[in-house]
Structure 1
Amino acid sequence: MVTQRSSRVRLEWGPIGADRIVEPDCLAVVVDVLSFTTALTVAVQVGAEVYPYAWDRQDLGTYAAARDAHHAVGRYEAQRSDSLTSVSLSPRSLAVSSGLKRLVLPSPNGSTISFRLRDSGATVVGVSLRNRAAVAAWLDAALEDDPARVLALVAAGERWDDGSLRPAVEDLWGCGALLAGLRDRGADVLREASPEAHVALAAYDAVADDLEAGLVACDSGQELVRAGFRDDVVDAAQLDVSAVVPVLSGERFVDARRPLGE
């Protein structure tokens, strides 16, 4: 059952929420600020094609090898490793990597949702604070080309210890940031936004003057800071520093600005 059907701009949480608002031919935007879509933005910017994958799958290595791809390890596993070459969900680890062409990047939330949406018939896009203006411009053009097309924002959220969804304010802000980017462009589509989408926009406006402070102070940010990953939170707070538009093509995210096969 599709919810928010009367709205052209929709917002829901997590994988089940994605199922409720995403429909064939819509633009499905996955937002996981800490940290899948931030890591995705960085990886695509350094030239990698990124394969989303479900979390905790035992065949990760086999899946990556079949695609001649590296696979990321968990952030905490990389922290424990003596290797300086490990790539993980830490955006900083991806920014300093070299020769990374294909990467399988699993995560419990944003990547799992993206993997789930591969066969939905939707155009799946990854957005972070870092690339939100670029994605807003790309979406604005796509929505103008088809005035009936739906924009479905999926806030990934986090997980409680029992595996249930924990709504995460940073993803609400990320959705709102994208909507603010569309607003700045004068996009008419916001006239048809759901109440849920309007709440995200208002939440972003409340912290837009100091995103870094908000991300560092929020629960997910504090968890990373305590674990020694403050730099990842700071990197995630950088607004509009990347021009990439990661769009899922088959199994992998590629930059929509780059011709396929390049």
Structure 2
Amino acid sequence: MSSLLSEPGAPQRQLPYSVRFEWGLDGARAIVPRADLAVVVDVLSFTTCVSVAADRGALVFPYPWRDTTASEFAAHHGAVLAGPRDSEGVSLSPSSLRRAAALERVVLPSPNGSAISHELAASARHVVAVCLRNAAATADWVHATLPPDAVIAVVAAGEKWAYGTLRPALEDELGAGAFIAGLAAAGRRNFSPESEAAAAAFDAAEPRLASVLRGCSSGRELLEGGFADDVDIAAELDGSSVVAVLRDGAFGGAASAGRL
């Protein structure tokens, strides 16, 4: 342990803890290197969309930007390019993915969870997408799949302020906390204080989770924009048993427990 603590950047990397929690792309760059698993959490858009799509057996390709390169990326993968949340058809709205007549391969571009996932696809050993819908199932699957001393890096995507800096988002802390609480319930140990705090936040909010999501800044923004269904879907705690694993650049349902 002393050798770990003497490594450069050990405090920011949350060494020597096995379960770590940070925010945004910079946080991911700090705690994901050399981790066995990266967990991306973006509850009020990306990872809930991934969960809904995975329930339907679809593949989701993360991408950071919605521009001409996104169209080319989607065409290359034979996938539908999702539009902004307020667009017609498949979009960054989980309800649009649930009601789509057919859904097989979709590119979901966003500057938060999708951008983080896209970058981690090239560097992390393994990546999963977690939201409140699949937090418990993913925690159980991870516990069955990885050894007790595996390093698990949990990254809450957060939102962006108008000038581009990170805005920590309560819903992402709660999604991360639900997953971390699931790991603790399964018998995992050696949590960083940051990850313990996220789990405690979830435990405090769980009895009134739906109202908390509706009352937080991001939830209110969606309600005011006419996307109450998306908030309701995001609040479906443990509503899915499908684990969303990133393989070959796309999130899809895990084949079976005990396999990455």
Please report the TM-score for the alignment, with normalisation by the length of structure 1.
0.91
Q: How many Å apart are 1:120 and its aligned residue?
A: 1.1
Give the aligned partner of residue 216 of structure 2: 218
Distance 2:127 2:182 in 1: 18
Residues 1:141 and 2:139 aligned together: no
Quick check: 1:13–1:154 contact (8 Å CA) kept in 2? yes
Residues 1:35 and 2:36 aligned together: no
Structure 2 residues not aligned, in runs of 5+ = 1-8
Query: Could you say what secondary structure the match of 1:10 adopts?
Result: strand
Residues 1:125 and 2:135 aligned together: no
For 1:161, give the aligned amino acid.
A
Q: How many Å apart are 1:46 and its aligned residue?
A: 1.0
Quick check: 1:32–1:156 contact (8 Å CA) kept in 2? yes
Give the aligned partner of residue 5 of structure 2: none
Distance 1:31 1:229 in 2: 20
Comparing 168-177 with 97-106, greater Cα deviation is found at: 97-106
Give the aligned partner of residue 111 of structure 1: 114
Change (3 A) 1:218 1:257: same
Query: Could you say what secondary structure the match of 2:68 adopts?
Result: coil
Distance 1:121 1:174 in 2: 20
| Alignment RMSD (CA, Å) | 1.5
Runs of 4+ in structure 1 off by over 6 angstroms are: none
Q: How many Å apart are 1:173 and its aligned residue?
A: 0.6
Equivalent residues in 2 for 1:28-177, closer than 5 Å:
28-76=38-86, 78=87, 81=88, 86-143=89-146, 146-177=147-178
Quick check: 2:19–2:154 contact (8 Å CA) kept in 1? yes
Q: How many Å apart are 1:179 and its aligned residue?
A: 1.5
Quick check: 1:22–1:122 contact (8 Å CA) kept in 2? no
Quick check: 2:24–2:158 contact (8 Å CA) kept in 1? yes
Give the aligned partner of residue 19 of structure 1: 29
Give the aligned partner of residue 201 of structure 1: 199
- Provide, for residues 156-175 of structure 1, a one-character-per-residue CA deviation record: whole Å limited to 9, x for no partner: 00000011000001111111
Distance 2:105 2:54 in 1: 10
Q: How many Å apart are 1:125 and its aligned residue?
A: 0.2
Distance 2:148 2:199 in 1: 21
Quick check: 1:244–1:257 contact (8 Å CA) kept in 2? no
Please report the TM-score for the alignment, with normalisation by the length of structure 2.
0.91
Q: How many Å apart are 1:148 and its aligned residue?
A: 3.0
Structure 1 residues not aligned, in runs of 5+ = none
Distance 2:214 2:35 in 1: 36
Distance 1:52 1:127 in 2: 14
Distance 1:149 1:91 in 2: 32
For 1:239, give the aligned amino acid.
L
Quick check: 2:38–2:124 contact (8 Å CA) kept in 1? no
Q: How many Å apart are 1:201 and its aligned residue?
A: 0.8
Distance 2:244 2:43 in 1: 14
Distance 2:179 2:55 in 1: 19
Distance 2:213 2:91 in 1: 20
Q: How many Å apart are 1:59 and its aligned residue?
A: 1.1
Identity of aligned residues (%): 49
Give the aligned partner of residue 236 of structure 1: 234
Comparing 4-13 with 99-108, greater Cα deviation is found at: 99-108
Q: How many Å apart are 1:200 and its aligned residue?
A: 0.2
